[in-house]
Structure 1
Amino acid sequence: MTNNGPPKNPHHNRQIHPHHSQGGAHQAGHDVERMTLDDPATEAASGSPDAASAPPAAAEDAHDAIARLVAENVDLKDRLLRALADAENVRRRAERELNDTRQYAVTRFAGDMVSVADNLERAMSSLPAALRRNAGPFKTFVEGVELTEKELLRSLEAHGVKKLDPTGSRFDPHFHEAMFQVQDPSVPSGTVTTVVQPGYAIGSRSLRPAKVGVAS
């Protein structure tokens, strides 16, 4: 039996897929790969908390560390200056105490020697002037006593003890003791006019105040 219909195409029943489907799948693969590779940048650009906050936090930590170091440096410098000042004060105080010890160590001994000087002066002042002028052995004795008094005063002065004779000077309560007041218009008020008993000073201190009369 003869089939007069149109000839069958051998490829008629073959399923034809659109060509662009393979291209679309390939393009989709590229898009997925590109999206995967660009995820960190995309995440950073989208404002991810981890990526955006990491640099500011590190900068803040560095700033805090520098601030702490500066504060510690200031504190250490202040402590050093205080320690140096304390050491200098201790050195000066020790030096001053040493000088005072050297200068005033003979205070008690000097006080006893001042009494001896007073007795020699009283002995000389009690002698009549005529006997001092007479030649002979008695005059030699008087001169020997005078030399002894001068040598004693020189020895005391060598150890920082000085005799005070404030006649004509301004009354100083630290070194003078007022026994009485006198009317003397020839001198300013408060001037020492009479010395009843000489005083002595040791260094910058009074060993014994001079007993004086002061003009009113």
Structure 2
Amino acid sequence: MRAWRERFDLQTSEVAEWMDVSPSVLTDYERGRRRSPGVQFVRRFAEALIALDLEKYRGRHVRELVGVLGLTRAVLAIGEYVYPVTAQDVCDAVKGEFVASEDRADVPVYGFTVIDSIQAILTMSGYDYLLLFGRSLNRVVAFTKVGSGRSPLVAIRVFPIKAHPVVVLHGPEHVDRVAIRIAEAERVPLILSKVGSVKELIEAFQSLGKMP
């Protein structure tokens, strides 16, 4: 919930006021001090984000999010975590190994996006990449059907992105040296996954962040 609120550039107090709840209640949910909120609370929370975005930003964040979610051919799975995990947790879950920026293994991760790299190349524009990476603060972005891993890292290098995600590559036996150098230069934790299939990869991401 915190990740979504921050994605919409909103303060806890204003979201809580719109929902007519105490800010401390919302903070407790965000920090895992309360059990997972019910469906009605989450629906009300989502309504607050949309309404406040329309009021404060003329719907800018909603339009950006729709742009990302509209990349249906390239996006295989997307999800948010109830509780944050670390890049190291991600690495363990996907049976991976760090190939760059392992010193940032403790960076928090609040959600995941799994991308079909071939469809991304065929269908995603430069603006689509900006939307994807620009809204990927504290997320893991996994690329499947990867040849060498160079293209996703070049995209990160080329576009003026302030918030670099954790990147997982699935498919190659070895990662391109240029990709590794870019990841090190940009301080991007880069993980090579060894799980057998894309289905297993998605299931590994979905299994994370469910328990405090």
TM over 0.5: no
Normalised-by-shorter TM-score class = under 0.3
Instruction: Kindly indicate which of the two structures has a greater share of residues assigned to helix.
Output: 1
TM-score (norm 1): 0.22
Which structure ranks higher in relative contact order (CA pairs < 8 Å, sequence separation ≥ 6)? Answer: 2
Instruction: Kindly indicate which of the two structures has a greater share of residues assigned to strand.
Output: 2
- Give the greater-gyration-radius structure (CA): 1
